[in-house]
Amino acid sequence: MNYRLAFKGIGLLVLAFLWLPAAIVIPSVARFGPDILLMDWTIIYSLVQIAPCGLPLAIACAWLWRLNHRRKSVVAGILMGLTTGLAALPAGLFGPIGVAIAAGVVSLPVWIIAISLWRRQRSLY
């Protein structure tokens, strides 16, 4: 078994689940201080609920990476990740479902790019 490949897959999975909660926690901690995380445990519980909402963008970027468009994958992940993080803050008022809808809508451009590049690459062979 190729352990390097296995760790790469685990790293992608951990990154896919943790990037959106981190994008929500970092501005909150910057604004209110680190004590905000210790004051109320429901914040941690809500972060666990929205962790899967970052999967669509992470999977689309991983797909771009596997299509050998590494630079596009990184740029799309950073730009759309920032946009998703900013959209998730007001969408959080509607709960985890609002965050899931916002993350899905923001990740649509990356999916469109990935599908079009996959079709173009598939038609060349």
Six-digit token string for 47: 């972060």
Q: What is the DSSP string of 31-61?
A: HH-THHHHH-HHHHHHHHHHGGGGHHHHHHH
Single-letter amino acid, residue 85? G
- The predicted-structure confidence for 51-104, as pLDDT tens digits, reads as follows 888 888 888 888 888 888 888 888 888 898 889 888 888 888 898 899 999 999
Model's pTM, two decimal places? 0.77
Joined together, the tokens standing for residue 98 give 């609002």
Domain that holds residue 65: 3-124
Number of H helices, E strands in the chain: 6, 0
Structural domains counted in the chain: 1
Instruction: Let me know: does 34 contact 81? Beta carbons within 8 Å.
Output: no
